[in-house]
Chain A
Amino acid sequence: MARIEMNYPAYGISTMNIVMPQYGDAGSNRKMTKEAFYQEKFPVIWLFHGGGGDCTDWLRYTEAERIAEENHLFLICISVGNTAFADMQRGNHYASLINGYIWDLIFDMFPMASDKREDNYIVGFSMGGYGALRNGLEHPEKYGAIGSFAGSVSMVQQYVNGGWCPAYAGSVFGDKTIGSVNDTWYMAKKAMDEGKAPFIYLSCGTKDDAHYPCNIEYRAI
């Protein structure tokens, strides 16, 4: 498997980890020729880290790389700090960056990565789960499916109800809360009303007191 650690110019210099298919990664590769392996473009999984994490989390704590090897996938892990992958009201606009500049950059750099909707999946853990829902629901034309693992699906609602530090969450969401693009509930309902509901995979541990109740509620939509 080929791995890339990258420092790239964004708002200042940012870091990103990428896993990239290489012929011979998995034993199953031997069943096909090298030419056949590289014939078709590879699907892309966008992996979002949780609060306090960074672009190394998914590679360090999970089997993501092995799974990518067996399934011939690109993994794109981005670092955004504790910004919930949103356009911060007082700070950097990460959602715009990811869906504009970084999206263009990745497909400019890697012609073998497929930019088709059905080949792009957006997935996150905890805060990143919120980020995946927020960005996936905002850009259904880009992402074929959304995955949220123990996602903070109700971040905006919790912020409005005083569940997050006002100084921190305020700088992220500001007055763009309920009923805005930051509201994962509103965006999901809107997509369903319009008959354009994307495929969403929600998962949460039953002992995860902080995330389980809101995930159960969210599933009910």
Chain B
Amino acid sequence: MIILRPKKEFKAPIIAECISPDVFMGKSIDEVAKLKVYEGNKERTLGELFNFSYEKEPEDKIMIIGDVSKVRKIGFNMRKGEIEVKGDVGMHLGAEMKGGKITVFGSAGSWAGSAMSDGLIEVHGSAGDFLGAPLRGSTSGMSGGTIVVHSNVGDEAGAYMRDGSIRIHGSAGQFLGLRMRGGAILVLGDADSRAGAFMTGGRIVICGTLRSLLPAFTIEGVRPSIKVGPEKVSGPFYLFVGDLTEGGDGQLFVSKVRNPHLSPLVTKVMAGE
């Protein structure tokens, strides 16, 4: 295990795609210290920015201790091994990740797990916007793997998701599961409005309050409980289907108890049927 400690408080953004077990594996500390990173527009070596220490076991693990909230692309494209961060971490954490595990005891910036296809990211603090979502213009969202965030997340979490699962213990921002096609998102807290916008498939479960429901969703019924991955979450839940304007049949489960503001609509529609 290689342990990294930042030498100073960073100001300019650090782009450090090389901080990944795939890259570190088989390299000596000296070799690792020579890896290139960018601090703003200046090319630096990892050794100029971080102090290193080494522990024998486990071999494929990287631990970062300290505030690396300016450090971006940690674990980019990683395939195996483990990264543990004790402190806040910057954008693009585990972006395009294909395997392995990242644990953050702190908060993560935006685009954590962006377009990941496998592996596990667990953030014990909060996460920024675009959790698991691809970069602008791309429609290839998360296609596998798991993201767990223990606190809140920003807007557009799980956008363009095709498979895999996201579990949010806190609340979620707007446009949760935007243009989602598959996979599952579970929110234990509340969700801001516009959940499921443009969704065509997949499953969103909101255990708290949904601020408002989009007009292009229709009520399908009430379900006592719902399975998300291996886990059974008990409700009861309203089941809405949408986004109808996209011809979609994504499922949006919303806690019945926590969302009394939806009950007049549900009652009206069910009575009409």
B and A form one assembly: no
